[in-house]
Amino acid sequence: MNEIKVAVYSVNFGNYRDEITNIDSIVFDKDIDYYLFTDNKSIRSAFWKIITPGLKQELDFMDAYRHSSKYFKFNIQPLLRRYDIIVWIDCKSLNQLKFKKIDLVQMVNKNKNIFFVKHPRRKTAQEELVLTVNKGKEHYANGTKFLDEIKDTTFETHLPDTHCIIYASTDENISLLQNVYDTLISKGIRRDQNIIQYVLKNNNFETKISYFKISDLNKYKVCICFFGLTRSLNHTFACIKENILTILRANCYEYDIYLHTYNLSQLSNERNFEFNCSLDRDEWKLLNPAKYQIDDQGEFDKTIDIRDYLHNGDPWPENPEVSLFNLLRQLNSLHQVNKLVNSSGNVYDCFLYLRPDLKYVENVDIKIVNNIVSNRDKKLVFTPDWQRSKGINDRFFIATESASNIIATRFNDAKDYAKHHKLHSETFLEYIIKKYNIKNKFMSQKAIRIRANGYPAPGDQSYEPELLIPPDFTFFDELNKW
C-alpha cells in the first residue's frame, strides 16, 4: 500500500463562488496529498499544498479565471504525474471528499480506466448544450454551432458529471484529459461537460471509462450514542432528526445509533420543577437504535453508597443527594452505552454522545465532524462553549474514539475524584480531560434541556425565544399541584 501514491487536486481562480474560504474544513486522509491551484497568494492551509501559477489569457468566449481553471483541470501538471492515482474534485464538491486511500487503490487497481460520475439529470451532450445555451451559461454562438455539429451523433456513454474524476496516472488517461482542454479551446466552448462525450467518442474511449458513485467511496461512519433518561424525547426528536441525523446524511455520513436509558414510568425532581411527571416508556423507539440497553434505575441505585461521593460535600446542597444521584446515573448510562458500542465490533470514525432530552436548535457542525474524522487517531473532543460552570459542559460532545472511550467511562474515576473534590459534573469532566491529556476544543452549538413536563429549563430559554415558558405557567402552581 505504501508504494502507491495518491493525489487529490482542485482549482479556484478569481475566488469563484467563494469556494476556498473553508478548504481545511473537509475530511483529509493522511496518506493522500492534496493540491490546490489558485491565484490567491494569501491563502494558507494546514493540509493543501497551495500552487499559485500565473493566469492564462482571456479568450473571446472565456475570461482568464475560467480559462485558468480549465487549463489546470485538464493539463495534468508534472507534480501530479508522479502519483499513481489522481483524483480531480471541483471546489464546490469538497464536502463530498471523504475518500480513503485504500478504497481508491482497490477501485483503480481493478482496471486502469478513468472513472466518472454519471450526470444525475441528463444523459447526452445534446441535452446539456440545449440547457446551458438557453440559460446563458454557454457561449451562445459557439454552443449553438457545436450543437448543430453533433445533433445526429449517438454516444455510447452516459453523460459524465465532471465534478469528480478518478484515474490511474497513465499516458493514455492524461492524453485524454489534455484533449478535453484542446477541444474546449478549438470549439470555443466554456463548459467541459458539453464536450466530454464528444472527446470520449473521438478518442475511442467510450469502452474504456467506468462509472462510480461518490457514496460508494464515502465510507466514514459516525457513531451516535444517546445516554440518560429519554424523558422528553417526544418533544426533542424532531430537532434531533432535522438538525443532526438529516445533516449527517446530507453530508454523506452514514451512522448507527446506540442507546442506554432507564425504565422509569414517573419522574419528580423539585429542583427542575418536575412533579409526578408521567414518562412514555416507549418513546426511545423513535431513535430506532441499532443496539440498546434499558436498565432498572432502582436496581442501579442499590449498587451506590452515596457516602462514597460526599467526602467533600454535596455540589447541589439545595437538592440534597438527588442531583448527585442523577449525575451518577448519567455517568453509568454513559459507561453502559459505551460498552454497547465496543461490544458491537463495528468501526467508527467519529462519535457523538448526546442527551436525548435536549432540543438541538442548530445544525450539527459538519466542519467539526470532518475535523474529528481527519484526526481520528488523536485524543480530541469538542464540547459546548456555554454554561460551563467553571469547568466543561457535559451535556453532549463530539469526539474521536480514544477520547470518547475515556470521557464516556469516567464513572470509573468518580469515586476516587470525590475523595478530594466535590463531584460536580462540569469540573469533574474538566479534570478527566486534563488528566488523560485529551485535546478539548469548544463549539458553539446550542441545545435546550426539555424537562419531563415538556417545558425548557429556564436558564436555556434565551437560545430559542419561541420556547419561552408560557406566561400562564408558574412554578408555584406546579409546586402546589405536587
Query: What is the predicted pLDDT for the residue at 470?
Result: 46
Neighbours of 333 (CB within 10 A): 26
Query: What is the predicted pLDDT for the residue at 464?
Result: 54
- Residues forming a β-bridge with 382: 398, 441
Q: Which three cell numbers stand for residue 430?
A: 474538566
pLDDT confidence of 272, banded at 50, 70, 90? Answer: low
Query: What is the predicted pLDDT for the residue at 461?
Result: 56
The DSSP call for residue 262 is E
Separation of alpha carbons 364 and 381, rounded Å:
14
Q: Which three cell numbers stand for residue 189?
A: 466552448
392-425 pLDDT, tens per residue? 999 999 999 999 999 999 999 999 999 999 999 9
Query: What is the predicted pLDDT for the residue at 218?
Result: 87
- Contact (CB, 8 A) for 461 and 468: yes
* Domain edges within the chain: 6-217, 221-481
Separation of alpha carbons 441 and 383, rounded Å:
6
- Same CATH topology for 6-217 and 221-481: the answer is yes
The end-to-end CA distance of the chain, in Å, is: 67
Query: What is the predicted pLDDT for the residue at 318?
Result: 85
Q: Which of 432, 451, 460 minimizes the C-alpha distance to 326?
A: 451
> Which amino acid is located at 61 in the chain?
F
Query: What is the predicted pLDDT for the residue at 480?
Result: 41
Q: What does the DSSP assignment read for 163-191? A: EEEEEE--HHHHHHHHHHHHHHHHHT-S-
Three-state DSSP at 369 gives helix
Query: What is the predicted pLDDT for the residue at 15?
Result: 83
> Which amino acid is located at 458 in the chain?
P
Query: What is the predicted pLDDT for the residue at 54?
Result: 92
Say whether pLDDT at 215 is over 60. Answer: yes
Phi, then psi, of 9 in degrees rounded to 5: -140, 155
Q: How large is the C-alpha radius of gyration of the chain?
A: 28
Say whether pLDDT at 206 is over 80. Answer: yes
Mean pLDDT of 12-19: 81
Say whether pLDDT at 373 is over 90. Answer: yes
Q: What is the pTM of this model?
A: 0.84
Query: What is the predicted pLDDT for the residue at 255?
Result: 97
Say whether pLDDT at 104 is over 50. Answer: yes
Higher per-residue pLDDT: 154 or 461: 154
Higher per-residue pLDDT: 478 or 363: 363
Three-state DSSP at 72 gives helix
32-81 pLDDT, tens per residue? 999 999 999 999 999 999 999 999 999 999 999 999 999 999 999 999 99
pLDDT confidence of 474, banded at 50, 70, 90? Answer: very low
Query: What is the predicted pLDDT for the residue at 356?
Result: 96
Query: What is the predicted pLDDT for the residue at 468?
Result: 45
Higher per-residue pLDDT: 337 or 23: 337
Q: Which of 94, 55, 88 minimizes the C-alpha distance to 74?
A: 88
Say whether pLDDT at 440 is over 60. Answer: yes
Q: Which three cell numbers stand for residue 203?
A: 478518442
Mean pLDDT of 148-162: 97
81-99 pLDDT, tens per residue? 999 999 999 998 988 889 9
Determine the CATH number of domain 221-481: 3.90.550
Query: What is the predicted pLDDT for the residue at 268?
Result: 66
pLDDT confidence of 271, banded at 50, 70, 90? Answer: low
Say whether pLDDT at 478 is over 50. Answer: no
Query: What is the predicted pLDDT for the residue at 73?
Result: 98
Query: What is the predicted pLDDT for the residue at 111?
Result: 76
Determine the CATH number of domain 6-217: 3.90.550
Round the average pLDDT of the chain to a whole number and report it: 91
Lowest mean pLDDT among 226-235, 286-295, 326-335, 461-470: 461-470
pLDDT confidence of 191, banded at 50, 70, 90? Answer: very high
Mean pLDDT of 190-212: 96
E-strand ranges in 356-473 read 358-360, 380-384, 396-399, 439-443, 447-449
Mean pLDDT of 362-386: 96
